Amino acid sequence: MKQTYALAIHGGCGNVVRGRFNEEQEQAYLKTLQESLRNGQQILEEGESALQAIESAIRILEDSPLFNAGRGSVFTHLGTHEMDASLMDGNRRRAGAVTGVKRLRNPISAARSIMEHSSHVMLAGAGAEAFAEQQGLEFVTPDWLFDQTRWDQYQKALGENRQFMDHASDDQKYGTVGAVALDRHGNLAAGSSTGGITNKKHGRIGDSPIIGAGTYADNATCAISCTGEGEYFIRDVTAHRVSALMEYAGNNLSEAAANAMKSLEQIGGHGGFIGVDQSGNIVMPFNTQGMFRGSVSEDGKLFVKMYEEV
């Protein structure tokens, strides 16, 4: 077995503003992040794969009602839930993604199943659910996904703005969860999962299920998971851009992260991402006021934060 391992996670960056949460709420968020990290760390500690670690860490965030993914997913314009997820194995650059699923407990596990048990990368909507059913994945009823806070946000967004494509409320706009990991065998993996944007219309798909935009992993470079205004990450192909900067411009991970953020800002994008490289270096840049994030490495030092550093 090789050297070290490392894991980083994020829980979105859209509404992480000082004064928004009371101390109890802050503690609840940080505690869930810690739980996710400890879970992924245990897997890595035992020499299991980065892929297993990120899937498991993301499942914990999906099962929490706090984050906009899985159980905590926001409501669409029609009062339903549409979830997206993707993951990528940096070892063979295999990938899986799912978009517009409504009844799956853990979209990230469906993405993994698509990667491992189909010849496709992305499956959508009812077709994706049919595949997941064949694969024996867990389905949930709408009450699993119902959350009063999300419902109130949805009603607010509906009431505030009936205009075309405009959902004035900033609540949870950039909510996503994600994880990146390096395992003891030197393999990298990345994954992202989201419930989209509150009051979203028209079957909008953001960057989370898009390989190269919201998620990318390649053992030769890095593993990346993004969160933010998805459209900008799609246009700037952010996750792959970080990798390309390392592969072709000779950047190290932190230089590549800084350059990719600069590129994103040139088109006006807001958000952030987490990344890990072959040596276990971790980056977590963002240009919003905060980002739920955390990391842990072999020395056991666990780090969780939600606001910008001061």
Partner 1 sequence: MISRLTTVIVCGLLAWSLTACEPGDNADDSTAAAQQKDWALVIHGGAGTISRDMEDELREMYEEGLEAALQAGSEILENGGTSLEAVEAAVTIMEDDSLFNAGRGAVYTNEARHELDASIMDGSNLEAGAITGVTTVKNPIKLALEVKQNSRHILFAAEGAETFADETDVERVDNSYFNTQRRYEALQRAMSSNELMPGQEDYYSEGHDLGTVGAAALDQDGNLAAGTSTGGLTNKKFGRVGDVPIIGASTYANNNTCAVSTTGTGEEFMRNVVSHHVSALMEYAGKSLQDAVDHVLHERLQPGDGGIIAVDHSGNLVANFTSEGMYRGTADSDGEFSVAIWD
Residues in contact with partner 1 by the rule CB under 8 A: 88, 93-95, 99-100, 117-128, 130-131, 164-166, 201-206, 210-213, 216, 230-231, 234-237, 240-241, 244-245, 247-251, 255-256, 259, 262-263, 266-267
Decide if 187 contacts 242 (C-beta within 8 A).
no
Instruction: In whole angstroms, give the CA distance from residue 170 to residue 153.
Output: 10
Shortest distance, position 230 Cβ to partner 1, whole Å: 8
Contacts with 149 (C-beta within 8 Å, 6 or more apart), sequence order: 65
Contacts with 166 (C-beta within 8 Å, 6 or more apart), sequence order: none
Token pair belonging to 17:
């503003």
Q: Which is nearer to partner 1, 9 or 87 (CB)?
A: 87
Q: Which 3-state string (H, E, C) describes 265-288?
A: HHCCCCEEEEEEECCCCEECCECC
What are the residue numbers of the active site?
176
Shortest distance, position 33 Cβ to partner 1, whole Å: 29
Instruction: In whole angstroms, give the CA distance from residue 12 to residue 100.
Output: 19
Shortest distance, position 51 Cβ to partner 1, whole Å: 15
Smallest Cα–Cα separation from 243: which of 230, 226, 229, 257?
Answer: 257
Shortest distance, position 259 Cβ to partner 1, whole Å: 5
Cα four-point dihedral sign 243, 245, 248, 253? negative
Q: Which is nearer to partner 1, 7 or 261 (CB)?
A: 261
Contacts with 218 (C-beta within 8 Å, 6 or more apart), sequence order: 90, 93, 188, 243, 247
Q: Which is nearer to partner 1, 235 or 305 (CB)?
A: 235
Q: Which is nearer to partner 1, 132 or 282 (CB)?
A: 132
Shortest distance, position 102 Cβ to partner 1, whole Å: 12
Q: Which is nearer to partner 1, 159 or 164 (CB)?
A: 164
The residue type at 208: S
**Partners of 99 in the beta sheet?**
124
CA 103 to chain centre: 19
The full length of the chain comes to 310
Q: Which is nearer to partner 1, 248 or 310 (CB)?
A: 248
Shortest distance, position 84 Cβ to partner 1, whole Å: 10
